């Protein structure tokens, strides 16, 4: 069977979900290898030798060196050196089954424009023997490392970083430049993994939304504020909402260091914020959402559409959940006629989608009219049956 390309895959999903929409051509990346600015590795042991890699699908089996083609060479070098040090310093690997050991994962983030690197050690316990020696070796051999943090996670979960990181070296953040803006990020904050394509994506979002100077914009799931920062100069004001308090701290700092004065941020669940905004008759002209892979929720859709925005910009990293959510938005009177595709994940099956939904009162009124006609027809049939003596 012929393997579908990314555009065909999205078109097929649109048909399956009965979403009547045109799918644009894929905007491909100039850099298709060594592009990931964030890498998480696990560790395994074979014949007494430690190795690093990724988990095999639906398992806790670590595949050695998986994904190296997508990672910058400097990140590969740091991972190799950490693996050697874990072996030589006899740092015990964490065992998910019995909860013993220390090291679970290592996450490395690189700021594409500045080259600054963050190393995050995820441990199963607060005790981290040899960490001082480990830090000394890494920072002396790799001056690009600006900060090193430790986070503790002893739960059996697919979520790698759950608790607030403990800063071991530096200030716990790195700073990148994205769309001409300085962006400071912490260990737990969301940041797109392909920086060059992220600039393409946000530039496309700005063009598609086409804000008016008088528009008020609500940036939900705002993370460190990247989307709002790129749109702030085209509208009256931006309100960013994010439940991750560390990300909100980064977002406020990012607005300040870029001298953006028409942005505010709230540490709150996006759905709850919109429901409260509705209660106080607060209006937004444009709503932007870039949710996790699981997509958004029915309460979010209902809360967003209840605010009666002129446009809703939906950025999605999972076409399947996007199609599901577009059906939900349609029920609330918001539709789109085109989905654009940006390849944020070259050499993988994943694709980033972006669309702008607008309210179509005609559709809503037509639906109401159809329901009224149906009720009228049912009433007429009932009257006819009574005249004939039927009950």
Q: How far from 126 is each of 103, 108, 317, 376, CA to CA, in Å?
A: 10, 20, 34, 70
**Rounded CA gap, 136 and 166, in Å?**
17
CB atoms near residue 117 (< 10 Å): 24
**Active-site residue 317, yes or no?**
yes
Whether 112 contacts 136, CB under 8 Å? no
Q: Determine the 3-state secondary structure of 164 from DSSP.
A: coil
DSSP code of residue 160? S
Q: Which helix (H) or strand (E) holds 172?
A: none
> Which residues, including other chains, have CB under 8 Å from residue 356's CB and lie 6 or more apart?
208, 209, 311, 312, 313, 314, 336
**Where are the extended beta strands (E) located within the chain?**
22-27, 38-46, 49-55, 62-64, 103-110, 117-123, 145-152, 166-169, 173-178, 181-186, 216-220, 237-242, 263-267, 286-289, 311-316, 334-335, 338-342, 352-359
User: Active-site residue among 198, 211, 317, 355?
Assistant: 317
| Full DSSP string of 361-388 | HHHHHHHHHHHHHHHHHHHHHHHHHHHT
Residues that are catalytic: 317
């Amino acid at each position: 069977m012929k393997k579908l390309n990314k555009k065909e895959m999205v078109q097929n999903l649109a048909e399956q979900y009965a979403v009547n929409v045109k799918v644009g051509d894929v905007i491909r990346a100039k850099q298709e290898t060594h592009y990931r600015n964030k890498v998480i590795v696990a560790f395994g042991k074979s014949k007494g030798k430690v190795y690093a890699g990724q988990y095999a699908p639906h398992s806790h089996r670590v595949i050695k060196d998986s994904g190296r083609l997508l990672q910058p060479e400097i990140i590969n070098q740091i991972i190799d050196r950490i693996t050697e040090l874990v072996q030589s310093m006899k740092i015990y690997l964490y065992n998910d089954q019995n909860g013993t050991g220390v090291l679970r994962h290592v996450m490395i983030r690189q700021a594409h424009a500045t080259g600054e690197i963050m190393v995050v050690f995820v441990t199963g316990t607060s005790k981290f023997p040899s960490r001082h020696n480990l830090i000394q070796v890494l920072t002396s051999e790799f001056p690009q490392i600006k900060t090193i943090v430790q986070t503790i996670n002893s739960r059996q979960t697919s979520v790698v970083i759950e608790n607030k990181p403990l800063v071991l070296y530096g200030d716990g953040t790195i700073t990148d430049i994205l769309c001409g803006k300085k962006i400071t990020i912490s260990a737990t904050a969301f940041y797109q993994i392909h920086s060059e394509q992220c600039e393409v994506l946000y530039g496309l979002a700005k063009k598609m939304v086409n804000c008016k100077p008088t528009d008020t914009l609500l940036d939900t799931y705002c993370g460190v504020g990247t989307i709002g920062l790129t749109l702030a100069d085209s509208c009256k004001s931006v309100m960013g909402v994010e439940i991750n308090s560390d990300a909100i701290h980064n977002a406020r700092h990012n607005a300040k260091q870029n001298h953006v004065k028409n942005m505010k941020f709230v540490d709150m669940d996006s759905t709850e914020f919109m429901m409260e905004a509705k209660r106080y008759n607060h209006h937004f002209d444009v709503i932007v959402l870039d949710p996790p892979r699981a997509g958004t929720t029915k309460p979010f859709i209902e809360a967003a559409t209840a605010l009666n925005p002129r446009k809703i910009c939906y950025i999605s990293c999972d076409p399947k959940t996007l199609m599901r959510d577009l059906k939900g938005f349609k029920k609330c009177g918001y539709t789109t006629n085109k989905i654009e595709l940006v390849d944020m994940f070259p050499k993988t099956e994943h694709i980033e989608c972006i669309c702008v939904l607008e309210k179509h009162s005609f559709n809503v009124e037509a639906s109401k009219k159809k329901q009224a006609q149906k009720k009228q027809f049912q009433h007429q049939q009932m009257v006819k049956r009574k005249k004939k003596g039927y009950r």
